[in-house]
Chain A
Amino acid sequence: MTKILEVKNLIKTYKSINKELTVLDDINFSISEGEIVSIVGPSGSGKTTLLGLCAGLDTPTSGSISLTGELISSMSENQKAAVRNKNVGFIFQNFQLLPTLTAIENVMIPLELQGKPSGARSKAKDLLGRVGLGDRLTHYPTQLSGGEQQRVSLARAFSNNPKVLFADEPTGNLDEDTSDIVENLLFDLNKEQGTTLIIVTHDLDLAQKTQRVIRLKGGKVCRDQKTNQD
Chain B
Amino acid sequence: MANLKYFITTAYRDSRKDRGKLALFMSAIILGIAALVAINSLNYNLVKDVDEQSKSLLGADISVTGNRPVTEQLQLLLDSIPGTEEAKEVELFTMSYIAKTDDSQFIGVKSIDGNFPFYGKLLTEPVDAFDRQRDEQFILVDHGMMLQFGLEVGDSLMIGGVDMAIGGRLKSSFGSISAGSSFAPTVYITPEQLEDSKLIQPGSLVDYAQHYKVPSNFDPNEWEDLHREAFRNESMRITTIKDQRENLEEAFSSLNYFLNIVALVSLILGCIGVASSVMIYLKNKVSSIAIFRCLGMTDQQAFLIYFIQILVLGLVSVVTGAILGSSIQMLLPVILKDFLPYEVDMDISWQAIFEGASIGVLITMLFALVPLVSIRNITPLRTLRASVDQTDHWIDWLKMVLYVVIVLSIFAFLFQLTDSLREALAFSIGLLVAFLVLFGVSKLVVWAVRRFFPTRWSFVFRQGLANLYRPNNQTQTLIISIGLGTAILTTLFIIQGLLLENVGSMDAGNQPNMILFGIERDQKDEIRTLTEDFDMPVIQQVPIVTMRLSGWQGRSKEDWMSDTTKIASRWAINREARVSFRDSLNADEELVEGIFTGEVTPGDSIFVSLADNYASSMGVSIGDEMVWNVQGAMITTYVGSIRKIDFRSMQTRFFILFPRGVLEKAPQFQVLVTKSPDTETTARYRSAVVKAFPNVSVIDLGMILITLNDILTKVSYIIQFMAGFSILTGMIVLISSLSLSKYQRIKESVLLRTLGALRNQIIQINFTEYFLLGSLSALTGIVLAFVGSYFLATQELELEFNIRWFPINSIFFVVVFLTVLIGLFNSRDVIKKSPLEILRKEVG
Chain A residues in 8 Å Cβ range of B287: 96
Cβ of A52 and Cβ of B384 under 8 Å apart? Answer: yes
Determine whether B294 belongs to the interface, using a CB cutoff of 8 Å to chain A. yes
Chain B residues in 8 Å Cβ range of A115: 2-3, 6
Determine whether B463 belongs to the interface, using a CB cutoff of 8 Å to chain A. no
Interface locus among A3-11, A80-88, A186-194, A210-218: A80-88
A98 with B288: in contact, given A81-B298, A110-B296, A142-B842 (CB under 8 Å)? yes
Q: How far is the CA of A140 from the CA of B16 in the complex (A)?
A: 11
Of chain B, the residue at the smallest CB distance from A115 is: B3
Determine whether B85 belongs to the interface, using a CB cutoff of 8 Å to chain A. no
Cβ of A81 and Cβ of B6 under 8 Å apart? Answer: no
Determine whether A132 belongs to the interface, using a CB cutoff of 8 Å to chain B. no
User: Which of B2, B3, B384 sits near A48, CB closer than 8 Å?
Assistant: B384
Cβ of B295 and Cβ of A109 under 8 Å apart? Answer: yes
Chain A residues in 8 Å Cβ range of B383: 57, 90, 92, 96
User: Which of B10, B290, B291, B298 sits near A112, CB closer than 8 Å?
Assistant: B10
User: Which of B9, B296, B381 sits near A81, CB closer than 8 Å?
Assistant: B296
Interface size in chain A (residues, C-beta < 8 A): 33
Chain B residues in 8 Å Cβ range of A90: 294-295, 383
Of chain A, the residue at the smallest CB distance from B1 is: A115
Q: How far is the CA of A142 from the CA of B843 in the complex (A)?
A: 12
Chain B residues in 8 Å Cβ range of A82: 296, 298
Of chain B, the residue at the smallest CB distance from A84 is: B296
Determine whether A35 belongs to the interface, using a CB cutoff of 8 Å to chain B. no
Cβ of A85 and Cβ of B295 under 8 Å apart? Answer: yes
Determine whether A137 belongs to the interface, using a CB cutoff of 8 Å to chain B. no
Chain B residues in 8 Å Cβ range of A117: 3, 5-6
User: Which of B2, B18, B301, B385 sits near A100, CB closer than 8 Å?
Assistant: B18
Contact with B along A44-70 (1 / 0, CB 8 A): 000010011000011000000000000
Determine whether B599 belongs to the interface, using a CB cutoff of 8 Å to chain A. no
Determine whether B379 belongs to the interface, using a CB cutoff of 8 Å to chain A. yes
Cβ of B298 and Cβ of A99 under 8 Å apart? Answer: no
Cβ of B297 and Cβ of A140 under 8 Å apart? Answer: no
A109 with B17: in contact, given A81-B297, A81-B298, A115-B3 (CB under 8 Å)? no
Of chain B, the residue at the smallest CB distance from A92 is: B383
Cβ of A101 and Cβ of B294 under 8 Å apart? Answer: no
Chain B residues in 8 Å Cβ range of A96: 287, 290-291, 294, 383
Chain A residues in 8 Å Cβ range of B125: none
Chain A residues in 8 Å Cβ range of B842: 99, 142
Q: How far is the CA of A97 from the CA of B10 in the complex (A)?
A: 14
Determine whether A148 belongs to the interface, using a CB cutoff of 8 Å to chain B. no
Cβ of A101 and Cβ of B384 under 8 Å apart? Answer: no
What 12 additional pairs, Cβ within 8 angstroms, besides A78-B298, A83-B296?
Answer: A57-B384, A77-B379, A78-B299, A82-B296, A84-B294, A97-B291, A98-B288, A98-B292, A112-B9, A113-B295, A113-B296, A115-B6
- Pairs A–B under 8 Å by Cβ, sample size 26: A51-B384, A57-B383, A77-B298, A77-B379, A78-B298, A81-B298, A81-B380, A82-B296, A82-B298, A83-B296, A92-B383, A96-B287, A98-B14, A100-B13, A100-B16, A100-B18, A101-B14, A105-B13, A109-B295, A112-B3, A112-B6, A112-B9, A113-B295, A113-B296, A113-B301, A140-B17
* Chain B residues packing against A (C-beta within 8 Å): 2-3, 5-6, 9-10, 13-18, 287-288, 290-301, 379-381, 383-385, 842
* Chain A residues packing against B (C-beta within 8 Å): 48, 51-52, 57-58, 77-78, 81-86, 88, 90, 92, 96-101, 105, 109-110, 112-113, 115, 117, 140, 142, 156, 168
